[in-house]
Structure 1
Amino acid sequence: MPTQPEHTLDAAALLALLPTRPRILALGEPVHGEETLLELRNDVFRQLVEDHGYRTIALESDCLRALLVDDHITTGTGTLDDVMTHGFSHDHGTSPANRALVRWMRAHNETRPATDHVHFAGLDAPWEITHAESPRAPLTALHTHLAGLTDLPCTAETLDDLLGPDDEWTDPAAMTDPTRSKGRSPEARHLRLLTDDLTTLLAQHPHSARPHLHARTATALLRYHHWMADPTPARMTRLCALRDATMADNLHTLATQAPVLVHAHNSHLQRDKSTMRMWQGPVEWWSAGALTTTSYAFIATAIGTLPHRGITTPPPDTLEGTLYTTPHPHHFLTPAHLPTTLTPRTSPWFGYAPLAPSHLPGIDALLYVKDVHQKQHPTPLGHNLT
């Protein structure tokens, strides 16, 4: 096999691997919640912000909650404890590395004018494959923003009546039983039409980013609840596809405002289809990275060992095993010289997804971390893969 070009783990080395500087630079991870990987991300993202002009950092977290984090780092609103508790989803607020990232972003902005601030954003919508939020928060915020207009299609009271109790929307049983979902009720259908009408009125506010985020999120949530009520076998495919399509929409919007750094699971950022085995069988859908048309680079992360999860030295005929022979603890490299015919690695733990060798042609650069050792707050065993 040809010798692999190896580079130190710094932003300049990473950008040197790419043919052009992308508007969206996406760093993936094969497992959630590992502090070693998050600390490496922080180091690289800090350099890319300070030295290379990136001005937004987006994580795989709820896009509405993330507004609390952005307010904190740009204006000092709220305490660090508050934003870590309420500004993240997926338990990401418990991560020491994520806390360090927020603290650094606030310190970075304190000494700079608003035009040079770095911003924080959530890539994800207010749902997971285990639950979905009520559309109340984004719909109410959208209606409030438009309250001064005379041609609103409904009153706030009408919205409130149609929404009803939030627990009718958030019933966790609805994820596996479509008959428990409110998503195809007469009220939900009416809300979808009203959301469309309210969104149309935003044409009078083209430069207001947050109302547009609320409109996109309300639309996406109502669409998601609609497919939660679908009794056909296509149901979970639709839901997974909607999640990544929403991520792609958020990513595209962020990229129109400033160069973006993204961190999420490899499966969301890859250009290939994503797959997952769920309770009703395998599901396959196009990832957010495959749907992104803006200038985009995908840096996948592969790891050698994860001992505390039972992931030991990789077999030598796998992609991870081939890279494990390097003496470097971590480095960037180009995947161009790696064969796609290597044996796919299997994982004894569902929370870690080895990198598929067949995906190498769609990867712009590779971060290889030889050994990932346990630090604080490992991801709970019940946490979803993505």
Structure 2
Amino acid sequence: MATDIKDTAHAVEAAAVMRLFPARPRLLALGEPTHGEDTLLDLRNELFRQLVEQEGYRTIAIESDCMMGLVVDDYVTSGTGTLDEVMERGFSHGWFNASAPNRELVRWMRAYNDGRPASERLRFAGFDGSLEMTHAASPRQALTALHGYLAAHVDADLLPCAAETLDRLLGADGQWTNPAAMMDPAQSMGRSAEARELRLLADDLVALLDEQTPHLITATSREGWDRARLYGRTATGLLRYHYWMADTSPSRMTRLGGLRGQMMADNLLAIAARGSALVHAHNSHLQREKSSMRMGGLPLEWWSAGALMNAQLGEGYAFVATALGTIRHQGVDTPPPDTVEGLLYALPEDRCVIDAPRLATALGDTRPAPRVSPWFGYAPLDPAHLADSDGIVFVKDVPQN
């Protein structure tokens, strides 16, 4: 058995990863089982460099706010702003902007792009919605940016409203971002009269953007039109998300999880249309099976962004999960030998790439036990879904940052 497993293990290099797939994937998704560990981000950075230099990949997309990601993309493509400003304003989810590996990624991308023609430049994207675990953003930024783009380039008579109307209906941003609304639907303004009118206006603005596509691409650029479509997806997605935050039915949290997955998937489809990309996020967002969690003692399930991408792109989507041996500074010690992580921990390599379907075949009917993490921030592999990923990147020990 150990020999069979060892035969599936290779060094963590782009060439070894690419051999896992029948064809070059448009979206190569690399998951991580925990956030905030520099070791995993350094590994991601090195893999991206190799994919750029050896395989022609040109975009990296990470689990961060899609609107904030535009700040990073502007910097790496054209040098807009400073590195310090970009790290402060270009990442969401707290731990990202303080991350030394993320800073190094942005610095390297900017240096790589310097002096290159636009067609060869690397691109950066956040693919998450403008959401946090505690709240959702106001739709103001996306909605007003979409309106501003259209107002500058189409006949004013075609616009469904004036900018002043949007401003009045949006009101104070604090009423949208109120953290109490995540747990108490009555605190959400997502089903107010103003929010309902904004959903209709946003829908009309997106429809106008679509119907004016030939003119807008000529009047601005495909890049400008693409960005306006991002504004539209974000505005309508946020208004839909706020609507369901105000829901009082038992399906509320399941719906919110599904909406976030759909927003991620819509952004990834737009990224895939532009060319090959490395996608980096938590395993749970990129896996092919349903995502699940327990909240208030109730099980919740929804389709992840990865499941949606797999359904739409087929072999154009590939998923490699990351698994860990130890995170001792978080109380995650040597894995039990009868778990997937335990079997991989017995290999001599500190890190390796495993062909997951071959490993599942080698194990046969001997299904490993599920690993139980003593720390909520780390999610072990589910052995029942081993063959649903194309590969596993295994890191034996994660030291403290």
Shorter-chain TM-score tier: over 0.9
Partner Cα separation in structure 1 for residue 336 and residue 160 of structure 2: 62
AA aligned opposite 1:341: R
Aligned pair 1:181/2:181, yes or no?
no
> Of 41, 44, 52, which aligns to 1:41?
44
Runs of 5+ consecutive residues of structure 1 not aligned to the other structure: 376-386
- Aligned to 1:231, what secondary structure does the other structure show? coil
Tell me, in whole angstroms, the C-alpha distance in 2 between the residues paired with 1:192 and 1:3: 53
Deviations 1:130-150 (A, max 9, x none): 111100000000000010322
* Inter-CA distance 145–259: structure 2 relative to 1 (3 Å threshold): same
Matched, 1:122 2:132: no
* Counterpart mapping for 1:56-205 below 5 A: 56-91=59-94, 92-148=96-152, 149=154, 150=156, 151-203=158-210, 204-205=212-213
Equivalent residues in 2 for 1:1-386 (5 A)? 1=1, 2-4=4-6, 5-91=8-94, 92-148=96-152, 149=154, 150=156, 151-203=158-210, 204-205=212-213, 207=222, 208-279=225-296, 281-292=298-309, 293-294=312-313, 295-336=316-357, 337-338=359-360, 339=363, 341-375=367-401
Distance 2:375 2:228 in 1: 41
Q: Which runs of 4+ in 1 moved over 6 A?
A: none
Q: Secondary structure of the equivalent of 1:216?
A: helix
1:183–1:226 contact (8 Å) kept in structure 2: yes
CA deviations over 1:243-285 (Å, ceiling 9, x no partner): 0111011001110011111000000000011111223532111
Cα distance in 2 for partners of 1:49, 1:244 equals: 27
Check the 8 A contact 1:304/1:313 in 2, yes or no.
yes
What are the ranges of 5 or more consecutive residues in structure 2 without an aligned counterpart?
A: 215-221
| Offset from partner CA, 1:84-111 (integer Å, 9 cap, x none) | 0000001201100000000000001003
User: Partner letter of residue 167 of structure 2?
Assistant: D
Structure 2 distance, partners of 1:181, 1:3, is 51
**8 Å contact kept, 1:304–1:369:** yes
In the TM superposition, residue 77 of structure 1 has moved relative to its aligned partner by 0.5
| 2: CA distance, partners of 1:27 / 1:65 | 21
User: SS at 1:128's partner residue?
Assistant: coil
Amino acid aligned to 1:356: D
Q: Which residue of 2 aligns with 1:379?
A: none
Matched residue SS, 2:10:
coil
- Does the Cα contact within 8 Å between 1:18 and 1:365 map onto a contact in 2? no
Amino acid corresponding to residue 294 of structure 2 in structure 1: R
Secondary structure at 1:328's aligned position in 2?
coil
Q: What is the identity, as a one-letter code, of the residue corresponding to 2:229?
A: H
CA distance in 2, matches of 1:281, 1:104: 44
Matches of 1:246 and 1:50, distance apart in 2: 30
Larger helix fraction of residues: 2
Identity of counterpart residues, as a percentage?
60
Q: How far is the alpha carbon of 1:333 from its aligned partner?
A: 1.2
CA RMSD for the aligned pairs? 1.0
Question: Which one-letter code corresponds to 1:164 in the other structure?
Answer: G
Q: Note the alpha carbon deviations across 1:320-341, whole angstroms, 9 max, x for none.
A: 0011001101011101223372
Q: Normalising by the residue count of structure 1, what TM-score does the alignment of the two structures yield?
A: 0.95
Matched residue type, 1:331: C
Question: When the two structures are superposed, what TM-score results if normalisation uses the length of structure 2?
Answer: 0.92
Query: 1:131 is paired with a residue of what secondary structure?
Result: coil
What is the distance in 1 between the residues matched to 2:204 and 2:65? Answer: 24
Secondary structure at the aligned position of 1:284 is classed as strand
Rounded to whole Å, the distance in 1 between the matches of 2:187 and 2:119 is 47
- 1:14 alignment partner AA: V
| Aligned position for 1:381 | none
* 1:78 alignment partner, SS class: coil
Name the CA distance, whole Å, in 1 between partners of 2:191 and 2:367.
46
Deviation at 1:177, TM superposition (A): 0.2
Structure 1 residue 168: deviation in Å? 0.8
| Corresponding letter in the other structure for 1:370 | K
Question: Counterpart of 2:159 in structure 1: which amino acid?
Answer: L
